[in-house]
Amino acid sequence: MNLMERLHQKLKEVNDPGTNMDVMTMRLVRKLEATGDGAVTLEFKPSSPECPLVVPLAFKIRKAVEEVEGVSCVTIIVVDHCMADAVTTMVNEK
């Protein structure tokens, strides 16, 4: 299984607590990209512009991606949320 397949499989284990559906089925994770050296970038679009669970869900997505073999670093870009910039900064801080 290649890196992208492993990422898709792992992200299907991350559920949106509001719907109990996985983030891939709900298409909350978009523009998932991985480089040859394992750098992963993705867009996370919460289910609503004011989703109250945006922060914990962003961190669950990050943790899941970090657990995938072959991933060297992760960048998550939150889009279409009233706190998108703040959450993007928070979830990507080291």
Domain ranges within the chain, ordered by starting residue: 3-92
pLDDT of 84 = 97
CA distances from 27 to 30, 43, 86 (A): 7, 10, 22
Q: Which two tokens stand for residue 16?
A: 């949106």
Domain 3-92 falls in which CATH fold? GMP Synthetase; Chain A, domain 3 (3.30.300)
Digit-coded pLDDT (tens) for 23-72:
999 999 999 999 989 999 999 999 999 999 999 999 999 999 999 999 99
Cα distance between residue 43 and residue 27, in whole Å:
10
pLDDT of 1 = 84
73-78, strands of its sheet edge to edge: 29-34, 39-44, 73-78
pLDDT of 67 = 97
Digit-coded pLDDT (tens) for 75-86:
999 999 999 999
Task: Please say if the pLDDT value at position 94 is more than 80.
Answer: no
Cα distance between residue 2 and residue 53, in whole Å:
31
